[in-house]
């Protein structure tokens, strides 16, 4: 993932990104989450390409993923929960700024607030 980022290869970066997200979801053992992620993955993938990240957002995302991997390897459940909630909020903010999610969308806002609690 880091090598793809350093080369500026967004396609390869997104492949690694998707694989990381899928591994985290599968590793949760939460059947409902696995099913939800599978059903939303096509929409998520489209938004990744349509909602192009700025260079600073991409750098932030790379740092997020490295921290997430580090904390997963350390098996620090409390820290991973906090990091994933922050990552989710940041992605929601990006989608709002890109115009793909309306900040007034009660379902989306409710979901992010619930996950952030």
Q: Is the pTM of this model over 0.85?
A: no
Supply angle C-alpha 16, 20, 23, rounded to 5: 135
- The 10s digit of each residue's pLDDT in 97-107 is 777 666 665 55
Q: How many CA atoms lie within 13 A of 40 on its CB side?
A: 12
- The 10s digit of each residue's pLDDT in 57-101 is 889 989 999 999 999 999 998 899 889 888 888 877 777 777 766
Gap between the Cα atoms of 63 and 56, Å rounded: 11
**Residue 53 main-chain phi, psi, to 5 deg:** -80, 145
Q: What percent of the chain has pLDDT over 90?
A: 32
Gap between the Cα atoms of 70 and 75, Å rounded: 9
């Amino acid at each position: 993932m880091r090598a793809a980022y350093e080369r500026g290869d967004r396609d390869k970066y997104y492949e690694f990104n998707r694989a990381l997200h899928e591994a985290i979801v599968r590793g949760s053992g939460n059947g409902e989450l696995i099913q939800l992620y599978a059903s939303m993955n096509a929409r998520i993938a489209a938004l990744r390409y349509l909602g192009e990240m700025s260079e600073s957002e991409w750098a932030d995302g790379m740092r997020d993923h490295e921290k997430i991997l580090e904390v997963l390897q350390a098996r620090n459940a409390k820290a991973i929960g906090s990091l994933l909630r922050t990552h989710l909020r940041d992605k929601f903010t990006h989608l709002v700024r890109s115009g793909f999610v309306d900040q007034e969308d009660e379902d989306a806002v409710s979901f992010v607030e619930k996950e952030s609690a």
